[in-house]
Amino acid sequence: MSSRDSVDQLRLATRGSALALRQAGSVQEQLGSRRLSVELVTVETTGDQVRDELIHRLGTTGAFVRSLDEKVLDGELDAAVHSMKDMPTDGPPELVVAGVPERAAA
């Protein structure tokens, strides 16, 4: 979470894809059941912006998570929801995986 003095509402970063919004909505619902107010904030990532290249040709890992992580590290947003398949193995050491929800039925 960011270093804001008081948190009236948790600002949660998510990509704008249908899958990302469903996953973030599930996290929002779970946190809401614990009486936390959560606002979803859509962030466009490099992976979203580059549509004419294969993802491995971008020459970087984390194309779908880096922009969200930067917003958290800058204190602009409190946390982010990522799909585990998009997570690089060498993410920023200042960030932690705070939770992994149960996997949804296929």
Q: Which of 5, 69, 74, 86 is catalytic?
A: 86
Write down the pLDDT at residue 73: 96
Residue 78 known to be catalytic:
no
Residue 46 lies in a domain: yes
pLDDT per residue over 65-76, tens digit each?
888 999 999 999
- What is the average pLDDT value for the chain, to the nearest integer? 84
Q: Which of 47, 13, 44, 6 is nearest to 27 (CA)?
A: 13
**Mean pLDDT (whole number) for 75-87:** 92
Burial (0-12, 13-18, 19+ Cβ within 10 Å), 80: buried
Residue 103 lies in a domain: no
Residue 35 maps to which CATH number?
Answer: 3.40.190.10
> Residue 35: which domain range?
10-85
Write down the pLDDT at residue 49: 63
pLDDT per residue over 10-21, tens digit each?
999 999 999 999
Residue 104 lies in a domain: no
Residue 21 lies in a domain: yes
**Number of domains into which the chain is organized:** 1
pTM: 0.79
